[in-house]
Structure 1
C-alpha cells in the first residue's frame, strides 16, 4: 500500500496564528488539492494527522471541525481526489496527551489502523513537531516552506534525513516521479 501522511494547516490549507475556526476561513493553498488528487489517482492513500487545539481552547466545536473537513473533502472530490482518513488531536498544549504532535500517538494509530509499518512513509508538515512525530515512527519527514515552514527551517534542528520542498504539490510531484 502506498500511504502518505499530511499535516493540514500550512500544508494543505492556509494557516493562521488565530486558528482556522470556520469553513469560510479554510482556504486551500494553491495547487495542494490538485496534487492530492493526482496522488489519489495513482493509487495512494492520503491520511491527515492534525493537531486541532482550537477545540480544547473553545475556539470551535467538533461539529465545526467536521464542517471544515467536509469542505476540504468536497473541494478535493471535485478534482478527483480523496482523503482516506483524518486523525485529529483535540487537546491543548498542556494536556499531556499521547496524540498531540510531537507525541507519536496519531502516527501509532495510523500504523494500527492500516496494519503497516510507517518506515519510510512520507509525512509532510510545516512545523518541527510534525517532523518529530513522523521521524519517531520511522517515516520520511518532509518540510514544506508553506505555513510555518520558513520559520521552522530558520530555527533548524530538523530530524535527520528531513527532505525540504517548496510546497505540497512539489512533494507529491517528487513522490510520483520516484514511484
Structure 2
C-alpha cells in the first residue's frame, strides 16, 4: 500500500458534527480526533481536502454564502485543508458531482494536482465510499449512528473513528504489507 497523495474527507459527520442544513458558523464543532488526524496528514506531507454534498442550497434552505462561511469556520478550527468542494444540487438533479457520483472527488483531486487513484476518501455513509470507487480512489468508511448496517457490510474498508483511519493509512504506507504490516 502506497501513501496516498491526498486524503479527502466528507464534512458533516466525519470532520464536524452533523448539524442538518447548517448555515451558522457558530454551530461548527469538530469531531473528536479530527484536528489531530489532519495534523498527522499535514506532518506526513499528505494533501487534504473536503468533498461534501450540500443539497440545502438546491432545496432553498441555505445560501451558497452560508455554506462558504460554515466551511471557512471548519477550515479555521481544523487548521486548514487544501481544498473544499461541494455539490449544491438536490438529490435527483442528475448532476455529476453529487456523491455517490465521482465529480466531487475528481474535482478535489484536480485542484490538489493529484490523480484520483492516488486519493483516499474518508466518510461516514455509503455514498462517500461509492464516490471514491466511482472516481478510482480508495474509500474508508467511519461509521456513525447515521451509517446503515448494509453500508458497513458493503464498505471495502472501515475504521472505528477518524483518527484511527488516518493512523492506519499512514502506518500501512510506512510499513506496507510486504514489510509485515497488516494488509488493508
**Smaller-chain TM-score range?**
0.7 to 0.9
Query: What residue number does 1:72 align with?
Result: 74
**Aligned counterparts, 1:51-62, within 5 A:** 51-62=53-64
TM-score (norm 1): 0.85
- The number of equivalent residue pairs is 170
**Aligned counterparts, 1:1-179, within 5 A:** 2-16=5-19, 18-77=20-79, 82-119=80-117, 121-146=119-144, 148-149=146-147, 151=148, 153-155=149-151, 158=154, 162-179=156-173
Distance 1:35-1:29 versus aligned 2 partners, 3 A rule: same
1:2 Cα shift? 2.0
- Counterpart CA distance in 1 for 2:17 and 2:22 is 9
Distance 1:91-1:147 versus aligned 2 partners, 3 A rule: farther
Higher share of residues assigned helix = 2
For the aligned residues, what is the CA RMSD? 1.9
TM-score (norm 2): 0.83
1:114 Cα shift? 3.8
**1:144–1:167 CA contact under 8 A, matched in 2:** yes
